[in-house]
Structure 1
Amino acid sequence: MIDFQLSVQPQTEQRLRKILSQVQDTEMFARNIISYQIAELQKGILNLRLDLKEFEQKYQMTSEEFQERFSQGVLGDDADFMVWSGLYEMLCHNQMQLSELR
């Protein structure tokens, strides 16, 4: 059993306590929260991959190749490249979070 504290606003605490008071199976409740977060990360990853695919097709290189060249300063600071880099960083971050939850 885990005992932890959350730092939330009083109204949020009250609402959370209300939900928890109605939960009969806290294990299932916790698993559902984790499953929800996993599903959200998976949706986010899918959407990011779709966005990245557009850049990959436009510039004829993978996002991994792009990121390496971009970080070396070879490609410059075009607005597309800034967005592409940000999307790729978000993808990597989401993938890391997802792997930690599985």
Structure 2
Amino acid sequence: MAKRQLLHIIGRESKICELAIHQLENKIRIFEKKYKLSSGKFYERFQKGNIGDEQDFFEWKALFEGVLEWQETKEEVMRLAS
């Protein structure tokens, strides 16, 4: 019984991670379309200081880092399941 409950909790947490990632990616797509640039390339340029200081870029960076953090959390949750 406890194992089944644990697997249920892990499944729920995984879905929460997926939802958070999906919502952040939807917001990120707006910036990718607006600036015609993938988030990966944007982030690389931003980290090197080669993109500018527009407010959009700071928001985009935060959203992208949020996706990375949620992906890491989901990986940790899935490790618990195995």
Instruction: Tell me the TM-score normalized by structure 1.
Output: 0.73
Gaps of 5+ in 2: none
Aligned residue type for 1:40: I
Higher relative contact order (CA 8 A, sep 6+): 2
The structural deviation recorded for 1:45 is: 0.7
- Superposed, 1:11-90 pairs within 5 Å as 25-90=1-66
* Aligned counterparts of 2:4 and 2:53: Cα–Cα separation in 1: 48
Percent identity over paired residues: 29
CA deviation map 1:9-36 (0-9, x unaligned): xxxxxxxxxxxxxxxx211111111111
Aligned residue type for 1:74: N
- How many residue pairs get aligned? The number is 78
Gaps of 5+ in 1: 1-24
Max radius of gyration: which structure? 1
Report the aligned-residue RMSD.
0.9
The structure with the greater share of residues assigned to helix is: 2
Instruction: Tell me the TM-score normalized by structure 2.
Output: 0.89
SS at match of 1:55: helix
User: Any runs of at least 4 consecutive aligned residues in structure 1 with deviations exceeding 6 A, and if so which?
Assistant: none
